[in-house]
């Protein structure tokens, strides 16, 4: 189905300059020739190179079979509780999936640098839930191969078979394709070699990491045991801290208030320390190192606090100003509660 698209240049001067160019492009049928993959558009000198660079114009059709392969692998990963995708790819190989996942609000860890701090940050995530997508068109990118080796070592050090956690995207017959098959990596996707890296959004380079990151919500098929000591630390920490804050606000600092505050803060610190080192944490506190995650949690907390304050204010207003009984005030607040649930 054809789609008509129009562009309007608001500046009259620029529009006047562009008009003859548009007319020339239309007369030469440039758009139609480009869609048809006509390599003669750029002249005889560029024809040989252009003839192997225009496959991106038909990716909307040629990439369709790839979707079922990605869905199949995604289902396998979901069944195994693997929902953290790390993409190792430089330049154009990682730009499209980064934009796709950011637009969808889905987390994708992109490793497109050899900066030690960023590499360490990528490794600091939960390796038990991690899959590494190694993306290199030439199959010889030194930085990307370094990322692969680092994650291989990290997987092995944690008792995980690296071959089950590494997915490769590369061009056919590249050195990386041969090495990936020899190593028995989980899946090897080959992309159309006639598509440049910065045009690869709809090739395997763009679709595989983005498609794997867009995992539906899943449950751990093999959940770990309850951390009873962690539960105890959290309870002691919350009770002690809340007690200290409330008593100090009403009666000031007393010996029992200070003791409760010290015990509560210490218990919470021990809870965080235990959760950061546990293989089966009650709360994966390392997620708070991610600014996007922390931002969402912070915004949600502020919204809940604001709503709680509003409901408290309304209850006092209805009773003290309007003269409502407690029951009448509660009934009057029902619309606000329903609205908060729906919105």
Whole-angstrom Cα Rg for the chain: 29
Question: Does this model's pTM top 0.75?
Answer: no
Between 258 and 220, whose confidence is greater? 258
In terms of average pLDDT, the best of 42-51, 160-169, 305-314 is: 160-169
Residue 236 has pLDDT above 90, yes or no: yes
Please, is 136 exposed, middle or buried when counting C-beta atoms within 10 Å of its C-beta (0-12, 13-18, 19+)? Answer: buried
Residue 91 has pLDDT above 90, yes or no: no
Evaluated on CA atoms 321, 324, 327, 331, the torsion sign reads negative
What percent of the chain clears pLDDT 70, i.e. is strictly above it? Answer: 95
Q: What is the mean pLDDT of residues 44-67?
A: 85
Weakest-pLDDT range from 50-59, 84-93, 217-226, 247-256: 217-226
Between 217 and 250, whose confidence is greater? 250
Contact status, residue 294 vs residue 288, Cβ threshold 8 Å: yes
The helix (run of H) or strand (run of E) holding residue 169 is strand 166-170
Tell me the average pLDDT of the chain: 87
Residue 218 has pLDDT above 60, yes or no: no
Between 286 and 310, whose confidence is greater? 310
Between 133 and 252, whose confidence is greater? 133
pLDDT of residue 1: 47
Q: What is the mean pLDDT of residues 230-254?
A: 90
Distance from C-alpha of 234 to C-alpha of 247, rounded to nearest angstrom: 20
Closest CA to 215 of 93, 70, 69: 70
Please, which pLDDT band fits residue 167 given cuts at 50, 70 and 90? very high
């Amino acid at each position: 189905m054809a789609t008509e698209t129009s562009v309007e240049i608001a500046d009259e001067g620029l529009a006047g300059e562009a008009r003859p160019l548009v007319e020339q492009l239309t007369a030469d049928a440039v758009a139609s020739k480009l869609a048809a993959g006509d390599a003669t558009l750029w002249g005889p000198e560029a024809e040989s190179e252009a003839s192997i660079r225009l496959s991106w114009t038909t990716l909307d059709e040629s990439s369709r079979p790839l979707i079922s392969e990605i869905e199949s692998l995604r289902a396998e990963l979901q069944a195994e509780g693997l929902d953290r995708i790390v993409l190792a790819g430089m330049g154009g190989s990682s730009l499209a999936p980064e934009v796709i996942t950011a637009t969808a609000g889905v987390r994708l860890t992109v490793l497109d640098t050899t900066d030690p701090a960023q590499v360490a940050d990528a490794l600091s995530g939960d390796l038990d839930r991690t899959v590494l997508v190694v993306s290199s068109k030439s199959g010889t990118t030194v930085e990307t191969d370094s990322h692969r080796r680092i994650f291989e070592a990290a997987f092995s050090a944690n008792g995980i078979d690296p071959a089950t956690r590494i997915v490769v995207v590369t061009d056919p017959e590249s050195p990386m394709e041969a090495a990936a098959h020899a190593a028995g990596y989980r899946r090897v996707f080959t992309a159309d070699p006639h598509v440049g890296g910065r045009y690869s959004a709809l090739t395997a380079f763009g679709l595989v990491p983005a498609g794997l990151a867009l995992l539906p919500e899943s449950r751990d098929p093999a959940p770990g045991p309850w951390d009873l000591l962690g539960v105890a630390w959290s309870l002691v920490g919350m009770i002690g801290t809340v007690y200290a804050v409330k008593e100090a606000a009403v009666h000031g600092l007393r010996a029992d208030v200070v003791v409760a505050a010290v015990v509560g803060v210490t218990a919470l610190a021990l809870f965080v320390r235990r959760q950061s080192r546990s293989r089966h944490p009650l709360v994966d506190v390392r997620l708070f190192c991610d600014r996007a995650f922390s931002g969402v949690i912070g915004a949600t907390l502020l919204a809940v606090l604001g709503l709680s304050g509003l409901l408290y204010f309304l209850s006092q207003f209805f009773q003290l100003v309007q003269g409502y009984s407690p029951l009448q005030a509660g009934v009057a607040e029902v619309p606000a509660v329903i609205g908060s649930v729906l919105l």
